[in-house]
Amino acid sequence: MAKVVVGMSGGVDSSVAAIKLLDAGYEVIGLFMRNWDSTINNDILGNPNNLNDICPQEKDYNDALNVCKKLNIPLHRIDFVKEYWDYVFTYFLNELKKGRTPNPDVMCNKYIKFDMFIDKALELGADFIATGHYARIKDGKLLRGIDRNKDQSYFLSQVSKEKFKNVLFPVGELTKEEVRKIAHEYDLVTADKKDSTGICFIGERNFKDFLKNYLPNKPGDIVNIDTDEVLGKHIGLMYYTIGQRRGLNIGGTKERMFVVSKDLDKNILYVALGDESKYLLSYACEIEEVNLLDELPSNCTAKFRYRQPDNEVSVSMLDSGNLLIKYPQGVKAVTEGQACVLYDGDVCLGGGIIKEVFKDKK
């Protein structure tokens, strides 16, 4: 009987992944990863009146333990706190310092879930590893999950192709509704558990309150890019992203302004009023840290953000090994630091991190 080590997160998706593996006849072992230590700095817990409450990650572990007991499978626990800090959180902070908009979940999959986790699973004698990601592997290719609204192939685009060799995605063929239905049939504690949202180590806490513990605020001017008028003060460039409209706290106009660019040297946040297309449209970008999962055609589609529709693009390799992505139809708010993920239909071809955005048609 083949042995599968499944990453048990304490959520409904990994719970049902374990059920599907058992139904398929595998010997199943659960492995819970502890990636963040909320007790390092009590200030980041968000609510000082509830410091004695169980932290969210411990609650997740208890839920995973409850599920594994119900399914009669063992659950191991591994601590990746230091590794997560070194490879994911430090990357996150460094990108923010550069004025970019990072995606730490992409790096967590690359360095933790499909690297160090695999090593630990092999120590436990795994023939395969499995997670609750909404994605599929078919003929050695990474495919989108059946549930397009929950598809997570975007977040797997930086994982090396060889890491997928013995990976199973048991819920990739299911919709979220079907996953919850199975969890209810087994009366699991996770059946109605809310999906985690936002950045994993911040959770439900206020982003600004959390971040100020690690990066000092550097307030500066908010300037109208068209008139050079100072409209107010920003609380730190790291808190804003291109295209953002909410939270600018600029009075004096009925129409909300939006973020156009940042000047790190002068610590200025530039905003504009009016037609977004004039300021936010770009027609090409260069991506670095390229990771290819399949042969790259000259024309394919790309996502520049997770929830974004597919965009028709052309791709060419630069001498540096980076890729030039062209989209002559124009796309709004393509942002440095975000992942650009390439697709050919349902097949995820890989991608890279957006290094530079070009407003002119190259």
As annotated, the active-site residues are 108, 200
Assign residue 102 a region: left if phi > 0, alpha if psi is -120 to 50, beta otherwise? beta
Q: Using DSSP bridges, classify how beta strands 128-130 and 3-7 pair: parallel, antiparallel or unpaired.
A: parallel
Single-letter residue type at 308: Q
Backbone phi, psi, residue 130, to 5°: -145, 150
**Distance separating alpha carbons of residues 103 and 152, to the nearest angstrom:** 13
Buried b (16+ CB within 10 A) or exposed e, 129-168: bbbbbbbbeeeebbbbbbbeebbbbbbbbbbeeebbebbb
**Distance separating alpha carbons of residues 237 and 72, to the nearest angstrom:** 50
* 261 beta partners: 270
DSSP assignment of 87-137, as one string?
A: IIIHHHHHHHHTT----HHHHHIIIIIIIIHHHHHHHTT-SEEE---SEEE
Is 236 in contact with 215 (CB distance < 8 Å)? yes
